[in-house]
C-alpha cells in the first residue's frame, strides 16, 4: 500500500500560478506511475497529468498541455504539478494518485492509491 499526501492548493486569479506537491510513502516500488486527477463540482474526475516513476515519460490532458508541468524527485518520493496560466475552468479538487499501468497516450491507469485531495480555485 502507498500513502499519498498532497499540499499546495489555494486560490488564485486567472493567469496566476500554483504548485502542488505529493509526498508518497509505503510500498512505492510496487507502483509504475504517479498522476494528478481533478474533479470540478458536478463533473467526473479526470486525469490531468502523469509520470512514469523513475523515468521521464509524461502524459498531459489536452486541456493543460503547455500550461502544466509534472515532475518528480525520486530521492524524496515526491511529485509536483506546476500550474501556470491558470483558468477558471481549472478549478476543482486535485488528487494525487499512484497506479500500476502507464502509457504515453493514456497516462497512469489501474489506480491503486489516492490522496485526500487539495482544493484549487481560480477566479476570473
Please state the φ and ψ torsions of residue 51, each to the nearest 5 degrees.
-145, 140
Residue 56 has pLDDT above 90, yes or no: no
The grid coordinates listed for 73 are 524527485
Residue 54 has pLDDT above 90, yes or no: no
Rounded to an integer, the average pLDDT of 24-53 is 95
Residue 55 has pLDDT above 90, yes or no: no
Q: Looking at residue 72, what is its pLDDT?
A: 94
Rounded to an integer, the average pLDDT of 107-114 is 96
Q: What percent of the chain has pLDDT over 90?
A: 93
Instruction: Spell out where the chain has E strands.
Output: 2-7, 10-13, 18-26, 33-39, 46-52, 58-60, 68-73, 78-83, 92-103, 107-114, 118-123
Amino acid at each position: 500500500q502507498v500513502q499519498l499526501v498532497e499540499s499546495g492548493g489555494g486560490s488564485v486569479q486567472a493567469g496566476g500560478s500554483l504548485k502542488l506537491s505529493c509526498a508518497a510513502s509505503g510500498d512505492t516500488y510496487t507502483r509504475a506511475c504517479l498522476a494528478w486527477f481533478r474533479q470540478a463540482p458536478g463533473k467526473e474526475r479526470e486525469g490531468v497529468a502523469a509520470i512514469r516513476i523513475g523515468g521521464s515519460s509524461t502524459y498531459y490532458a489536452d486541456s493543460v498541455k503547455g500550461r502544466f508541468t509534472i515532475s518528480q524527485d525520486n530521492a524524496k518520493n515526491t511529485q509536483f504539478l506546476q500550474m501556470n496560466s491558470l483558468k477558471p475552468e481549472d478549478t476543482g479538487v486535485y488528487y494525487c494518485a499512484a497506479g500500476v499501468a502507464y502509457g504515453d497516450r493514456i497516462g497512469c491507469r489501474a489506480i491503486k492509491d489516492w490522496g485526500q485531495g487539495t482544493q484549487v480555485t481560480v477566479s476570473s
